[in-house]
Structure 1
Amino acid sequence: MRKRKIAAIALGITLVGAGAAAYVASPTIHAGQTGEAPELGRHGEYAIGTSVKKFALEDRTKITTWGAISGNLTDTDRELSVRFWYPAKTGNGDTAQYSHVMRPPGKDPVTISAQGVAVPDAEAIAGQKYPLVLMSHGFGGWDTQFSNLAEQIASHGYIVASINHADMPIDGVTSFLLSFGNVLVDRTLDQRQILTQILDDAQSGSHTYAAQIDSGNVGLIGYSMGGYGAIASAGAPYDFANDPMSNIPATARTVMEEALEKPLPIKSLVTFSPWGGQPDSRAWTADSIGKINKPVLVIAGNQDDVVNYEEGVKWLFENMTGSDRYMLVYREARHNIVGNDFDLEADGNFTTAEFLKEPVWRSDRLNAINQHFVTAFLDMTLKGDASKADYLNVPTADSNDSNWPIGFGEQLNGKMADAEQSDHWKGFQRRWAVGLEMKRMEKKP
């Protein structure tokens, strides 16, 4: 009996060793791509170029210290830069290095950078049309903070335009209040004016990549305060009855109300951790949120303590009753669920890390999953690719309940779920769809 037991153990060790050897010896089935990225979270078929253009925004105002007291706004010339990514003829050449200087209040400036794959000013592919995706960052963010997401979307056949909103720098409580007050006014107005000018450029063909734009298929992506602006840009008028919206000077409110009366040609909306749903700073009524009639993808962490996941983000999602919508939820994640995986100094100040990083989730993992679902959603809503709905209409609301049986000793080596694994989240590797939830709601008839 003892000999049989020892033999069985030896056989088990042999099988495990053989399986491990086979795993190491065989190349992954997705050569050249990170093994753990889900299927659509990988670079697409297009080489991409990138360039920057400045836009002058007319008839704008600014809240100053005196203006906040008196209610009188200062007229200002507002000029913003927009970073574009677009399908290019070739990817040959030096690739872009995206650098930014963060200036945390009371701390030394911190320079952070990300290596891109796009080639600056590469020649655009002529004679082709691609959907346009406008991106809008959060409070204190910048245009290339999500360059990884922008590059990946562009590589799948999109023109991506990321606004640099140039939020007022913060060095104390007063400057914070002024900066945030201007963001409340500026976000949707920036989005509206810049989108209008980009579409005008598309009509005139003034730039090669602008001539690539399919003006009939426009998507909008907003993070945090960019999401706040994007929700309004997508058709939800603000409610100025509650704080802090009620503190916006009357002149600015009038401008915002007049702008929101003009519909934008947006067909698809993605919001990451959107601000404005939380009860203590609610920017809309349930009725106004229900006026959005475009498909929506909301992405959030269920421990978000900045925009209040339970009473804020969920409230927004549930009250978007005029749209077919999805909500991807990262369990145990807080607010910073999107953005480049920046390398920070080991002894750097914590303020920078807290602004950019998640305490539980790795940034590179978040990026790969975001890219997967955003690509599926945009392909479905802007390109009319109905097959991409299979990636969003997951078989189990909780990814941990996904089921993918395998035989004893079977090595999958990075295989991603397809139609044959119908009980598993499509495009994810076995055991790798964890910690996620997908909620789906249809618009009211």
Structure 2
Amino acid sequence: MRKIIIAAIASGVLLVGAGAVAYVASPTIHAGQVGEAPELGRLGQYSIGVTVRNFALEDRTRITAWGAISGNLTEANRELSVRFWYPAEKGDGETAQYTHIMRPPGKEPVSIASQGVAVPKANAIVDQKYPLVLMSHGFGGWDTQFSNLAEQIASHGYIVASIDHADMPIDGVTSFLLSFGNVLVDRTLDQRHILAQILEDAQSGSHDYAAQIDTDNVGLIGYSMGGYGAIASAGAPYDFSNDPMSNIPDSARMTLNEVAQKPLPIKSLVTFAPWGGQPDSRAWTAENIGKIDKPVLIIAGNQDDIVNYEEGVKWLFENMTGSNRYMLVYREARHNIVGNEFDLEADGNFTTAEFLKEPVWRSDRLNAINQHFVTAFLDMTLKGDTSKADYLNVPTKDSNDSQWPVQFGEQLNGKLAGSDQSDHWKGFQRRWAVGLEMHRMEKKQ
């Protein structure tokens, strides 16, 4: 009997009593790519190039140890590198490997690397225009920490510019406070100054990738402190009544208040685990948060104890009353809900793992889901592709409630939910849309 059952399965038919149920083996979608990734979390049609450019930022200042005491800022030269990913002509060059050395305070340096799919300095496709997406990392992060996300976005027809903010290194309590104080001032200023220069390059066509940029369609992505800066850049002026904002020197406050009158010319805002909404260090009033009028996608973990999901992230989402907005929530996730999957030594120090890893979710799974929803959101808001709204306007707030009935014995082999599965989260495989929530609110009329 066992041999008969095995033979029946092998032949594509599962016998059940006197009847038979079809064993459907749908072809795996997007052959050669990670099968568990949802539909838009996979590489797009474009080959990708990557290059780096340095930008000099004028009229910048720095908080020093003496400045923290005196309240005076020190004039400082600020030069930042920006890494660009862009649609490129298909070539045979070696793909990029992105390396970085982490320097945890009091620990040995740790070298980490990610293998990319972009080809360094590949020839840009110059006869088309693509939306620009500016990326801004968190405190202590770096420009290629999210290279997987950047490459995936670029492969779908975008120019992605990732800032390396070069946060001051930390070796103790004093240096931490100084570094964080400068980040409070620098994040939105960096975003503003870098974007202004990129758009100038686009107008002049001084670089091939710059000539590709559609200057009328610009998006901004920020993680943690990058999200803090991005919220201000999108049009929410800071409030300096709470610590640590109240400790920012007066001259820096004046600068931040001045630039707040001119939101960046963006059409779309994505924030991962944004800092600044939590009650004990709130950086905005509800009124000022409501001044953002661009569509927003917030992505967060509901156990985030860095930015306080319940009282911080949700507060931001609920008070962005001037925008149509979505919030994707990873249940049981903490703060590290975006970033490449890094292979760490088994006996390495835990500080590195704590900075990069999630306790519950796999990084590669987070990446695939992030890429899926960010691509849908950017296509909808920057390319005007209204069909992508179906990926965001999910039928159930809780993904666990998705319904996709199948017949007994039916094997779907990677099939993704489409219009025929209207009660399931679109683009996800059956049984794989779990552990997620999608919240949606429309702007106040």
Bin of the TM-score, shorter chain as denominator length: over 0.9
Q: Work out whether residues 23 and 413 of structure 1, in 8 Å CA contact, stay in contact via their aligned partners in 2.
A: no
Can you give the 5+ residue segments of structure 1 that lack an aligned partner in the other structure? 1-6
Specify whether residues 76 and 430 from structure 1 end up closer, same or farther in structure 2 by C-alpha distance, changes over 3 A only: same
Q: Distance in 1 between matches of 2:257 and 2:337?
A: 31
Q: Distance in 1 between matches of 2:126 and 2:132?
A: 16
CA displacement at 1:300 relative to structure 2: 0.1
CA displacement at 1:12 relative to structure 2: 7.2
Question: 2:326 aligns to what SS in structure 1?
Answer: strand
- 1:40 aligned onto 2:40: yes
Specify whether residues 403 and 16 from structure 1 end up closer, same or farther in structure 2 by C-alpha distance, changes over 3 A only: farther
Q: 2:89 matched to which residue of 1? A: 89
- Aligned partner letter, 2:70: S
Question: 2:128 aligns to what SS in structure 1?
Answer: coil
Q: 1:231 matched to which residue of 2? A: 231
Q: Distance in 1 between matches of 2:47 and 2:387?
A: 24
- 1:122 aligned onto 2:115: no
Q: 1:135 matched to which residue of 2? A: 135
Can you give the 5+ residue segments of structure 2 that lack an aligned partner in the other structure? 15-21
Q: Distance in 1 between matches of 2:381 and 2:321?
A: 18
Q: Distance in 2 between matches of 1:68 and 1:325?
A: 38
State the identity %.
Answer: 83
CA displacement at 1:263 relative to structure 2: 2.5
CA displacement at 1:375 relative to structure 2: 0.1
1:384-434 per-position Cα deviation (integer Å, ceiling 9, x unaligned): 000000000000000000000011111111000000000000000000000
1:248-307 per-position Cα deviation (integer Å, ceiling 9, x unaligned): 000111111111112321100000000000000100000000000000000000000000
CA displacement at 1:355 relative to structure 2: 0.1
Q: Distance in 2 between matches of 1:263 and 1:155?
A: 28
Question: 2:370 aligns to what SS in structure 1?
Answer: helix
Q: 1:436 matched to which residue of 2? A: 436
Q: Work out whether residues 135 and 222 of structure 1, in 8 Å CA contact, stay in contact via their aligned partners in 2.
A: yes
Q: 2:205 matched to which residue of 1? A: 205
Q: Work out whether residues 137 and 222 of structure 2, in 8 Å CA contact, stay in contact via their aligned partners in 1.
A: yes
Specify whether residues 163 and 105 from structure 1 end up closer, same or farther in structure 2 by C-alpha distance, changes over 3 A only: same
Q: Work out whether residues 85 and 118 of structure 1, in 8 Å CA contact, stay in contact via their aligned partners in 2.
A: yes
Runs of 4+ off more than 4 Å? 9-27
Specify whether residues 23 and 349 from structure 1 end up closer, same or farther in structure 2 by C-alpha distance, changes over 3 A only: farther
* Superposition pairs of residues 32-181 of structure 1, within 5 angstroms: 32-181=32-181
1:38-87 per-position Cα deviation (integer Å, ceiling 9, x unaligned): 00000000000000000000000000000000001100000000000000
1:138-169 per-position Cα deviation (integer Å, ceiling 9, x unaligned): 00000000000000000000000000000000
- Aligned partner letter, 1:125: I
Q: Work out whether residues 25 and 411 of structure 2, in 8 Å CA contact, stay in contact via their aligned partners in 1.
A: no
Q: 1:381 matched to which residue of 2? A: 381
Q: Distance in 2 between matches of 1:82 and 1:29?
A: 34
Q: 2:332 matched to which residue of 1? A: 332
- Aligned partner letter, 1:79: E
Question: 2:180 aligns to what SS in structure 1?
Answer: helix
Q: 2:18 matched to which residue of 1? A: none
Q: Work out whether residues 16 and 409 of structure 1, in 8 Å CA contact, stay in contact via their aligned partners in 2.
A: no
Q: 2:360 matched to which residue of 1? A: 360
Question: 1:407 aligns to what SS in structure 2?
Answer: coil
Question: 1:222 aligns to what SS in structure 2?
Answer: strand
Q: Work out whether residues 219 and 268 of structure 1, in 8 Å CA contact, stay in contact via their aligned partners in 2.
A: yes
Q: 2:17 matched to which residue of 1? A: none
Query: After the TM superposition, which of the residue ranges 285-294 and 405-414 deviates more from structure 2?
Result: 405-414
CA displacement at 1:24 relative to structure 2: 12
1:8-35 per-position Cα deviation (integer Å, ceiling 9, x unaligned): x998777667669999998623311111
Specify whether residues 310 and 105 from structure 1 end up closer, same or farther in structure 2 by C-alpha distance, changes over 3 A only: same
Q: 1:370 matched to which residue of 2? A: 370
Specify whether residues 395 and 355 from structure 1 end up closer, same or farther in structure 2 by C-alpha distance, changes over 3 A only: same
- Aligned partner letter, 2:247: N
The alignment covers a number of residue pairs equal to 438
Q: Work out whether residues 338 and 367 of structure 2, in 8 Å CA contact, stay in contact via their aligned partners in 1.
A: yes
Q: Distance in 2 between matches of 1:36 and 1:376?
A: 17
Q: Distance in 2 between matches of 1:397 and 1:343?
A: 34
Query: After the TM superposition, which of the residue ranges 287-296 and 86-95 deviates more from structure 2?
Result: 86-95
Q: 1:423 matched to which residue of 2? A: 423
Q: Work out whether residues 294 and 323 of structure 1, in 8 Å CA contact, stay in contact via their aligned partners in 2.
A: yes
- 1:403 aligned onto 2:387: no
CA displacement at 1:92 relative to structure 2: 2.0
RMSD: 1.8
Q: Distance in 2 between matches of 1:62 and 1:20?
A: 71
- Aligned partner letter, 2:42: R
CA displacement at 1:126 relative to structure 2: 1.0
Q: 1:296 matched to which residue of 2? A: 296
Question: 2:117 aligns to what SS in structure 1?
Answer: coil
Q: Distance in 2 between matches of 1:430 and 1:13?
A: 25
* Superposition pairs of residues 194-273 of structure 1, within 5 angstroms: 194-273=194-273
